[in-house]
Amino acid sequence: MQKRILLFCFITSAMQINGMKRPHATTAALTAPKKSFRKKAYISTSITTSEAEKHTILFDIGLLPPELQNSIISYASKRPNAPNPKTAIQLICNLTLISPHLAQQMKSLSYCDEIIDNVAHQYCCSHETIAKYLNSPAANRRLSLQYRLMDLCFSDPKNSRSNSRLEKLLAKGCSFTFTYNYKTEQKNALMISCINPHDMRSLFIEKGADINAATTYGQTLLMKLTTYPVNYNKVYELLKDPHLDPNKQNKRGETALLCALRYRKTRHYDPLFAHIIKKLLKRGADPELPDKKGITPRKIAFARGIRSIIDLIEEAILKKSRILSQHHPLSPQNPLN
């Protein structure tokens, strides 16, 4: 309980000093001499009790254990009480101003990555955006590394230099899960590489990239490729990968199959698209897996009224029910009976 109160007090206090850009720019919430600001920073805040009484509490941040200081900034990055990511980053920067320990931690690339990743997922924005907002030495190092990986997305995988450059970047800590703002969309390196005629995707996967890696919103490469306009050849190649998860869901609970049906206008339901749906279903896409609002691919298919798509969905559901009945413990077709 005491730890929660401390967390609340620090987060509230740091929000009160948003806009403070220099250590000597003190406010009513900070009562510390100018020279010793970094050494001792006392925060004054108020907590309303059940009796509606207000108590002023003074904290000396420098005296807190490092573990608690880490908890404070971890809480601030995962559950920020801020209307937008930019304000959330300002809150975290304010916490580092009043804590030498946290300021030192932020110099670490791994610690900085954790902050960037937490805030990016909290607000469903790209890692690139958060790193730019943070604008710390470690964040700028991360951006420099990732921009070099982004440039590599347009290289020729058959070139031996591409392979060696990629290995050097990975040795320095480059990440395949980092997301960029690319052509008004959030994409990771694997998604950007698919635009390249040479396609670095196979080399990236060989070096450890996850084919099911998603953006902070939950969009996967399969979702991107099957949403209109569809890149049919790339989809066919992707569906052959044994590690592909066709039923991975985004933050709305949508799968690639549901996205393909939902975000495509009826006039674009051509035979080629029907073939993509058939391939998705054959690969294991669940036609009855609902999103968070209970909408299934089957419901979308019937709402569109395209008979060829409806037949494919119904056939897949029938096949699914047969497989489930065969594995039912009481089924006579179950090999265990």
Cβ atoms within 10 Å of 224's Cβ, excluding its own = 20
Q: Considering the domain 106-216, what is its CATH architecture? A: Alpha Horseshoe (1.25)
Give the pLDDT score at 35.
39
pLDDT reading at 29 higher than 50: no
Residues 6+ apart with CB under 8 A from 275: 232
Q: Do the domains at 106-216 and 218-337 have one common CATH topology? A: yes
First-to-last alpha carbon distance for the chain, in angstroms, is 55
The span from the CA of 164 to the CA of 289, in Å, is 42
Q: pLDDT tens digits for 110-150? A: 999 999 999 999 999 999 999 999 999 999 999 999 999 99
| Position 282 confidence tier, pLDDT thresholds 50, 70, 90 | very high
pLDDT reading at 46 higher than 80: no
The residue with greater pLDDT, 38 or 151, is 151
Q: What angle do CA 76, 80, 84 make, to 5 degrees?
A: 135
The residue with greater pLDDT, 3 or 172, is 172
Q: Mean pLDDT of all residues in the chain?
A: 80
pLDDT reading at 336 higher than 80: no
Give the residue from 145, 142, 167 showing the smallest Cα distance to 157: 167
pTM, rounded to two decimals = 0.78
Token look-up 């800590």 returns 173
Give the pLDDT score at 118.
93
Token look-up 């907590």 returns 47
- Residue 270 structure tokens: 């051509």
**Kind plus residue range of the DSSP H or E element containing 45:** strand 42-48
φ, ψ for residue 84, nearest 5 deg: -150, 165
| Position 36 confidence tier, pLDDT thresholds 50, 70, 90 | very low
- The percent of residues in the chain predicted with pLDDT above 90, rounded, is 51
Average pLDDT on 81-102 reads: 84
- Residue 130 structure tokens: 């958060």
pLDDT reading at 303 higher than 80: yes
pLDDT reading at 62 higher than 80: no
Give the pLDDT score at 44.
35
Lowest mean per-residue pLDDT among 87-91, 148-152, 187-191, 322-326: 322-326
Give the pLDDT score at 9.
53
Q: Considering the domain 218-337, what is its CATH architecture? A: Alpha Horseshoe (1.25)
- Residue 66 structure tokens: 């490092």
| Position 177 confidence tier, pLDDT thresholds 50, 70, 90 | very high
Give the pLDDT score at 12.
52
Ordered by start, the domain boundaries in the chain are 1-82, 106-216, 218-337
* Rg of the chain, C-alpha, whole Å: 26
